[in-house]
Amino acid sequence: MNSLQGLLYGLSIAATPSNLLAAFVGAFAGTAIGVLPGLGPVAGVALILPLTFSLDPTAGLIMMAGIFYGSMYGGSTTAILLNIPGESASVVTAIDGYQLAKKGRAGATLTIVAVGSFVGGTLAVIGVMMFSSLLAKVAILFGPAEFFALTAGGLIVMSRISGGTLASALLPMTLGLMLGTIGQEAVTGETRFTFGLPDLAEGVSLVPVVVGLYGFAELMLLVEDRAHAANRPESVKMRDLLPTRTEWKRAVPSWLRGTFLGFLFGLVPGPAATLASFASYRLEKAASKHGSEIGSGAIEGVAGPEAANNSAATASLVPLLALGIPFTPIAALMISAMLVQGIQPGPLLITQHPEIFWGLIASAYIGNVMLLALNIPMVGVWVSLLRIPHYLFIPLLLVLSVIGTYSVRNSIFDVWVLLAAGIVGYAFNKMKFQLAPLVVGLILGPNIEKHFREALFLSQGDPWIYVESPIAVGVWLLVAAILIAGFIARRRAAFADAMAQESSL
Of 118-126, 196-204, 280-288, 422-430, the window that binds another protein (rule: CB under 8 A) is 196-204
Site residue total, another protein (CB under 8 A): 49
Question: Of 99-107, 179-187, 388-396, 487-495, which part binds another protein (CB under 8 A)?
Answer: 179-187
Stretch that binds another protein, among 140-148, 208-216, 223-231, 394-402 (CB under 8 A): 140-148
Residues 6+ apart with CB under 8 A from 147: 268, 269, 270, 447, 451
Binding to another protein by residue 198, rule CB under 8 A? Answer: yes
**Helix, coil or strand: residue 289:** coil
Do 379 and 114 form a contact (C-beta atoms < 8 A)? Answer: yes
Spell out a b/e string for 14-47, using b for 16 or more CB atoms within 10 Å of the CB, else e. beeeebbebbbbbbbbbbebbbbbbbbbbbbbbe
In the complex, what is the shortest distance from the CB of residue 187 to another protein, in angstroms, rounded to a whole number? 5
Contact yes or no for 204/417 (Cβ under 8 A): yes
* 183-184 vs 191-192, strand pairing mode: antiparallel
Residue 365 CB neighbour total at 10 angstroms: 19
Question: Site for another protein (CB under 8 A): which residue of 118, 281, 327, 393?
Answer: 327
Contact string (CB under 8 A) for another protein, positions 237-276, x = contact: --------------------------------x-------
471 binds another protein, rule: CB under 8 A: no
- Helix extents (H) in 103-164: 106-141, 144-158
Q: What is the Cα–Cα distance from 7 to 126, expressed in whole angstroms?
A: 10
Decide whether 133 or 384 has the Cβ nearer to another protein.
133
**Residue in 2, 460, 503, 504 binding another protein, rule: CB under 8 A:** 460
CA distance 170 to 178: 12
Among 76, 102, 98, 100, CA closest to 88: 76
Q: Which stretch binds another protein (CB under 8 A): 134-142, 281-289, 361-369, 492-500?
A: 134-142
Would you say 17 or 198 has its CB closer to another protein?
Answer: 198
Among 65, 333, 364, 366, binds another protein (CB under 8 A): 333
Cα 367 from Cα 117, distance rounded (Å):
12
Closer CB to another protein, residue 43 or residue 372?
Answer: 43
Q: Would you count residue 390 as binding another protein (CB under 8 A)?
A: no
- Alpha carbon of residue 30 to chain centroid: 15
377 binds another protein (CB under 8 A): no
CB of 42 to another protein, least distance (A): 9
Residue 345 binds to another protein (criterion: CB under 8 A): yes
**Cβ 163 vs Cβ 432: under 8 Å:** no
Measured CA to CA, the distance from residue 68 to residue 49 in angstroms comes to: 12
Q: Decide: is 202 part of the binding site for another protein (CB under 8 A).
A: yes
User: Using CB under 8 A as the criterion, which residues of the chain lie in contact with another protein when the complex forms?
Assistant: 46, 49-50, 53, 139-144, 184, 186-189, 191, 196, 198-199, 201-202, 269, 323-327, 329, 332-333, 335-336, 339-340, 342, 344-349, 409-411, 450, 454, 457-458, 460
